[in-house]
């Protein structure tokens, strides 16, 4: 089957997570993605271990799990962009590229004449996406940022975690680098929109992606709760601030998540719990009333759930079409029969280990397929072939090596 972006070439100057995540998505969609890395060191995340991929003898390689999770399907070339000859290589690659991804500090690439204004002089149709913590403008634009910092500054940690007065209370970050990942996903959306527009206008585009902008945009219902009432949302543990009952409940042998989303589902819940009288109780008849009387409702539900096991309630509630499920570990999630059926975990051939596991991009198309036949590249694995394709001779490539440009 065809790959949707097989006609697209991406020059990925980014490193760590947000930019590489976008680059991997584009590669999965079939684009040719050339990852530019520092000679000798490469992407910072190559060293972010353990764990490291083990070679065929069981010894640790220099390929960290962090790096392997976000660089599938790319080609790797090493180039020192601080050197004029290195800048020439990037410009030569940019001439026939469709997309450039970068996440350098604001102004850095301008010093090397590799910023958008410089590149569009040689490729006016380029779609150039810059990802930074705070964007290209504003009083914080030159500050450094990481996902953890943005989760704190953007309000996410203020509504994540148990209430201060409860055991373990206090602000918590999300257990994955969620803002990096969603910023990369938003970058991909912006890039694809720019590609669609270019088909009509013939014009390229510059995309300024800010992690803080993304985080604030994700505040969603919590932001609206504040804007409409003037009241600052607080941490509420696992309880949903607007819909109830949605929380974690203790069973006799573990915990279950309940995610009732409307009054009809609440009625089904009451029937399954043999608490049908609650359906007619004016305190709980509508969602607004359940929110108002949550403490009383919570006490009644706690008494019901503790009487039986997690598996008992999961099966019974699912049969009653009440949204619920167990709190799975990562291992349990990856081995869930539904995930296995959807082939979300696959193995790709790798020159060091023989095989490397990969978690797939969740695209499923009817008339196309994702391209997942190339493992994350070794550092500089494709340098020689890429330079040869640019027309450089063996002697010229050797000179670049001698001068530590590649």
Three-class SS of residue 297?
helix
279-299, pLDDT tens digit by residue? 899 999 999 999 999 999 999
- Specify whether 207 is located in the same domain as 267: no
Indicate the pLDDT class of residue 264, thresholds 50, 70 and 90: very high
Say yes or no: 272 and 154 in one domain.
no
Q: Do residues 24 and 70 touch, judged by C-beta distance below 8 A? A: yes
What's the rounded Cα separation, in Å, for the pair 162 and 236? 6
Contact 102, 15 (CB under 8 A): no
- State whether 189 and 274 are in the same domain: no
- Burial label for 392, CB within 10 Å (0-12, 13-18, 19+), is middle
Q: What token pair was written down for 333?
A: 């999630």
Kindly state the percentage of the chain with pLDDT values over 90.
95
Question: So what's the pLDDT on residue 332?
Answer: 93
Band of pLDDT at residue 352, cut at 50, 70 and 90: very high
Q: What letter would DSSP give residue 375?
A: P
Tens digits of residue pLDDT in 337-346 = 999 999 999 9
One domain for residues 80 and 120? yes
Rounded to 5°, the CA angle 93-73-67 comes to 100
* List of residues 6+ apart from 345 with CB closer than 8 A: 334, 339, 357, 358, 359, 360
Neighbours of 285 (CB within 10 A): 15
Q: Can 180 be counted among the known catalytic residues? A: yes
Q: Are both 150 and 200 inside the same structural domain? A: yes
Residues 362 and 257 occupy one common structural domain: no
Judge whether 229 lies within some domain.
Answer: no
C-beta atoms surrounding 389 within 10 Å: 10
Q: In terms of domains, do 210 and 260 share one?
A: no
What is the domain range of residue 300?
246-333
The pLDDT assigned to 1 comes to 76
Q: What is the pLDDT of residues 68-77, one digit of tens each?
A: 999 999 999 9
Q: How far is CA 206 from the centre of its chain?
A: 21
User: Same domain for 132 and 258?
Assistant: no
Q: CA 75, CA 280: separation in Å to the nearest integer?
A: 63
Residue 164 CB partners (closer than 8 Å, separation 6+): 170, 235
Section 387-397 average pLDDT: 96
- CB of 64 closer than 8 Å to CB of 52: yes
Same domain, 47 and 96: yes
Q: Among residues 12, 28, 147, 180, which one is catalytic?
A: 180
Bridge partner residues of 259 (DSSP): 246
Digit-coded pLDDT (tens) for 21-71: 999 999 999 999 999 999 999 999 999 999 999 999 999 999 999 999 999
Q: What is the mean pLDDT of residues 96-108?
A: 97
Q: What is the CATH number of the domain that holds 290?
A: 3.30.1540.10
* One domain for residues 195 and 84: yes
**Average pLDDT over all residues of the chain:** 96
Same domain, 182 and 84: yes
Q: Give me the number of domains the chain comprises.
A: 2
């Amino acid at each position: 089957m065809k790959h949707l972006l097989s006609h697209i070439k991406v020059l990925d100057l980014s490193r760590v997570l947000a930019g590489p995540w976008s680059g991997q998505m584009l590669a999965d969609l079939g684009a040719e993605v050339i990852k530019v890395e520092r000679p000798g060191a490469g992407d910072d995340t190559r060293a972010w271990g353990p764990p490291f991929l083990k070679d065929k003898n069981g010894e640790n390689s220099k390929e960290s799990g962090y790096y392997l999770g976000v660089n599938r399907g790319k080609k790797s070339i090493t180039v020192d962009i601080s050197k004029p000859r290195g800048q020439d290589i990037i410009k030569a690659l940019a001439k026939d590229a469709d997309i450039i991804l970068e996440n350098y500090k604001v102004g850095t690439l301008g010093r090397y004449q590799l910023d958008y204004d410089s590149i569009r002089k040689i490729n006016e149709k380029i779609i150039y996406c810059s990802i930074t913590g705070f964007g290209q403008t504003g009083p914080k634009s030159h500050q450094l940022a990481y996902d953890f910092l943005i989760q704190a500054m953007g309000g996410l940690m203020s509504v994540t975690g148990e209430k201060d007065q409860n055991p373990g209370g206090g602000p918590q970050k999300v257990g994955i680098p969620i803002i990096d990942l969603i910023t990369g996903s938003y970058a991909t959306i912006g890039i694809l929109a720019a590609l669609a527009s270019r088909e009509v206008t013939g014009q390229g585009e510059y995309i300024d992606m800010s992690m803080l902008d993304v985080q604030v945009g994700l505040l969603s219902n919590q932001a609206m709760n504040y804007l409409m009432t003037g009241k600052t949302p607080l941490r509420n543990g696992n309880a949903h601030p607007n819909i109830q009952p949605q929380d974690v409940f203790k069973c006799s042998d573990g915990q279950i998540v309940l995610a009732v989303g409307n009054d009809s589902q609440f009625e089904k819940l009451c029937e399954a719990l043999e608490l049908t009288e609650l359906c007619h109780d004016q305190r709980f008849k509508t969602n607004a009333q359940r929110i108002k009387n949550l403490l009383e409702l919570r006490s009644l539900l706690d008494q019901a759930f503790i009487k039986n096991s997690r598996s008992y309630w999961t099966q019974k509630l699912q049969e009653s079409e009440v949204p619920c499920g167990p709190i799975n570990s990562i291992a349990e999630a990856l081995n869930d029969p539904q995930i296995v059926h959807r082939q979300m975990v696959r193995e790709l051939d790798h020159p060091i280990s023989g095989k490397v596991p990969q978690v797939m991009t969740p695209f499923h198309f009817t008339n196309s397929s994702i391209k997942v036949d190339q493992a994350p590249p070794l550092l500089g694995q494709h340098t020689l072939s890429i330079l040869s394709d640019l027309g450089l001779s063996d002697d010229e490539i050797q000179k670049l090596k001698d001068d530590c440009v590649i």
